[in-house]
């Protein structure tokens, strides 16, 4: 569980940034306090949209590649804020919250998936501990937002460093568990593909099985009738069993 701690702390830290430092410094200064709710709504919509399509995505792209893309997006957005001279701009603010929301969804889903995979028999205490690390990250993020209101770069560098640390621990967990085999060999999410011997076309085996199952009409339970056995049949079966 300790290997998951840096990932959980970063999940809480990056989750607190849009509604903490970014809302306080960038949204309020550039667009006004009245626009905070609208901009954070876009953050939630972006995160929810990625959560909705995450399952189909990782069927064809390894989970580690998706997480790496999320890391690159957040690192790029942090560098963007370090270089950006704050000025009224809807495009810049919306660009940031949409990208940050997408990367946030990837981190949150990956973290929850790791907890469920590593502790299949103790999910309740494991998720309780995972929420502890996320809560610690949220506390750190909001406290940092309060203390470093005049030095925004401090929070940005803190996010960048913790992002790298969380990524390193993610790779470490991959190499120390069988999760690495499942992620890289497509044995969990990706469908099995087979080549049709007649025309050479590639067929998704999962879809083929679904098609066969859909064409097989299930027998209603009320039509299933047990065949009664006579006393002679019972005696014959008993005799066969005893000889065996």
Summarize pLDDT for 106-132 with one digit per residue, the tens.
Answer: 999 888 888 888 888 777 888 888 888
pLDDT, residue 127, reads: 85
Between 192 and 95, name the one with better pLDDT: 95
pLDDT, residue 78, reads: 92
> pLDDT category, 240, cuts 50, 70, 90?
very low
Between 232 and 191, name the one with better pLDDT: 232
The predicted-structure confidence for 35-86, as pLDDT tens digits, reads as follows: 888 999 999 999 999 988 888 888 888 888 888 899 999 999 999 998 888 7
pLDDT, residue 142, reads: 87
Q: Which residues contact 116 (CB under 8 A, 6 or more apart)?
A: 123, 126, 127
- Percent of the chain at pLDDT exceeding 70: 71
pLDDT, residue 161, reads: 92
229 vs 235: CA distance, rounded Å: 10
Residue 214 has pLDDT above 70, yes or no: no
pLDDT, residue 154, reads: 86
Least confident of 5-14, 16-25, 211-220: 211-220
The predicted-structure confidence for 147-178, as pLDDT tens digits, reads as follows: 776 678 888 999 999 999 998 888 888 887 75
DSSP 26-59: IIHHHT-GGGHHHHHHHHHHHHHHHHHHHHHHHT
Least confident of 99-103, 137-141, 142-146, 155-159: 142-146
- DSSP helix/strand/coil, 195: strand
pLDDT, residue 244, reads: 46
12 vs 201: CA distance, rounded Å: 46
What pTM was estimated for this model as a whole?
0.69
The alpha-helical segments, DSSP class H, found in the chain are 5-17, 28-30, 36-58, 63-83, 90-118, 123-147, 152-176, 179-184, 205-215, 231-243
Between 233 and 186, name the one with better pLDDT: 233
- Percent of the chain at pLDDT exceeding 90: 17
Least confident of 103-107, 183-187, 203-207, 233-237: 183-187
């Amino acid at each position: 569980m300790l290997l998951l701690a840096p990932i959980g702390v970063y999940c809480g830290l990056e989750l607190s940034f849009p509604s903490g430092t970014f809302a306080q410094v960038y949204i309020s200064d550039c667009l006004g306090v009245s626009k905070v709710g609208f901009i954070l709504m876009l953050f939630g919509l972006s995160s929810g949209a990625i959560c909705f399509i995450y399952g189909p995505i990782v069927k064809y792209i390894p989970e580690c590649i998706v997480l790496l893309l999320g890391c690159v997006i957040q690192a790029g957005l942090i560098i963007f804020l370090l270089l950006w001279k704050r000025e009224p701009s809807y495009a810049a603010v919306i660009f940031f919250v949409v990208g940050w929301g997408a990367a946030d969804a990837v981190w949150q889903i990956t973290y929850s998936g790791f907890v469920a995979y590593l502790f299949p028999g103790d999910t309740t205490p494991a998720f309780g501990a995972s929420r502890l690390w996320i809560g610690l990250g949220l506390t750190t993020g909001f406290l940092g937002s309060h203390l470093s209101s005049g030095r925004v770069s401090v929070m940005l560098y803190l996010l960048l460093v913790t992002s790298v640390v969380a990524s390193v621990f993610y790779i470490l967990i991959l190499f120390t568990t069988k999760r690495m085999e499942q992620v890289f060999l497509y044995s969990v999410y990706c469908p099995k593909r087979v080549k049709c011997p007649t025309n050479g076309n590639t067929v998704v085996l999962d879809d083929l099985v679904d098609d066969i199952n859909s064409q097989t009409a299930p027998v209603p339970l009320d039509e299933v009738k047990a065949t009664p056995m006579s006393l002679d049949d019972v005696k014959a079966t008993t005799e066969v069993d005893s000889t065996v």
